[in-house]
Amino acid sequence: MNASAWAVLLTVLVTGWVVLDGAVQGAGATLLQEHGQDGKERRREPAERRLVLGAVGPLLLPGEVWLIAALGVLIGVFPHAEADLLRAGYPVAITLVGSWALRDAGIWLRSRRPGNVWRDVWDVVLVVASITLAGSWGALLGVAWGSGLAALALGIAAVVVTRLHGDAVVAWRLRRSGPLPVVVTSVMVAAPVVGTALAAWPRLVHGTVSEPTMAALGVVALVVLPVVLALQVAAWWIVSRPLDSRDTLFF
């Protein structure tokens, strides 16, 4: 695999992350409030929150690894790009990983103890961390554009579109709407990533590791990625079914 192929793979990995994990971020951000059919905001009861997280839950583990894999590609193939991006976006990157850790802790721990106080506190953490995670991700994309204004605009855009995306996936799994809104919101969350990749393309493909190392890593990637994709399809199959009595409501 050459530099362009690796840059394509990097873009695919990050796109996979925003589509899969974006649904979890959106569901987390809207966990406590629901936009009712009468147009009013309504607080979600504990059992409803459980259904919302049950709807997107199967996406958490298979989803967040896409960005970790993308980070691996950055370190292994584009080490200079990673070093440059993190130099420029230092506080944004710190916020991103911090909110990511908090979001995960919120999802995994909220249902591990009995009692409402424990859960309510974690749910507030989950909402705040999900919004921060989406926003700091958008801002980091803006840093790659090299502009503070772009960081602000993309940060706000990411918060808005992940909410829509999370809502669409949850509504689809509970069969309150069809799959079409999910396709639309998926494109919406993916667009900034693809746009940024195209803008940063020349700088990205310029700073790779040597050809033999790229080729060797490419062999490994080409062997394993089909297996990963098959397993990802299985995970997506779980999510494509309506939520029913064979699902696991772990979160």
Smallest distance from other proteins to CB 151, Å = 17
Q: Is 102 one of the binding residues for other proteins (CB under 8 A)?
A: yes
Is position 86 an interface residue for other proteins (rule: CB under 8 A)?
Answer: yes
Nearer to other proteins, 66 or 172 (CB): 66
**109/113 Cα distance (integer angstroms):** 8
Q: Does 235 bind other proteins (CB under 8 A)?
A: yes
**Residue 203 lies near other proteins (rule: CB under 8 A):** no
Site for other proteins contains 135 (CB under 8 A)? no
244 binds other proteins (CB under 8 A): yes
The answer to whether residue 22 forms part of the interface with other proteins (CB under 8 A) is: no
Alpha carbons 26 and 28: distance in angstroms, whole number: 5
Cβ–Cβ < 8 Å for 26, 214: no
**What element of type H or E holds 34?**
strand 33-35
List Cβ neighbours of 150 (8 Å cut-off, separation of 6 or more): 141, 142
Q: Which is nearer to other proteins, 76 or 181 (CB)?
A: 76
What is the Rg, in whole angstroms, of the alpha carbon atoms belonging to the chain?
19
Instruction: Tell me the closest approach of the beta carbon of residue 184 to other proteins, in angstroms.
Output: 25
List 15, 22, 25, 50, residue binding other proteins (CB under 8 A): 50
Task: Say whether residue 120 binds other proteins (CB under 8 A).
Answer: no
Q: Which stretch binds other proteins (CB under 8 A): 23-31, 36-44, 60-68, 143-151?
A: 60-68
Told to check if 176 binds other proteins by CB under 8 A, we report no
Residues in contact with other proteins, counted by CB under 8 A, come to a total of 72
Does the protein bind other proteins through residue 216 (CB under 8 A)?
yes
33 bridge partner residues: 43
**211-240 and 3-29 helices, crossing angle to 10°:** 30
Residues 61-80 that bind other proteins (CB under 8 A): 61-62, 64-66, 68-69, 71-77, 79-80
Q: What contacts 65, CB < 8 A, 6 or more positions away?
A: none
Segment interacting with other proteins (CB under 8 A) among 148-156, 178-186, 194-202, 223-231:
223-231
Q: Of these, 44, 104, 201, 203, which contacts other proteins (CB under 8 A)?
A: 104
124 binds other proteins (CB under 8 A): no
Task: Find the binder of other proteins among 18, 60, 92, 204 (CB under 8 A).
Answer: 60
d(CA 143, CA 158): 14
Q: What is the spatial distance between Cα 96 and Cα 143, in angstroms, rounded to a whole number?
A: 13
- Name which of 13, 82, 77, 67 is nearest 217 in CA terms: 77
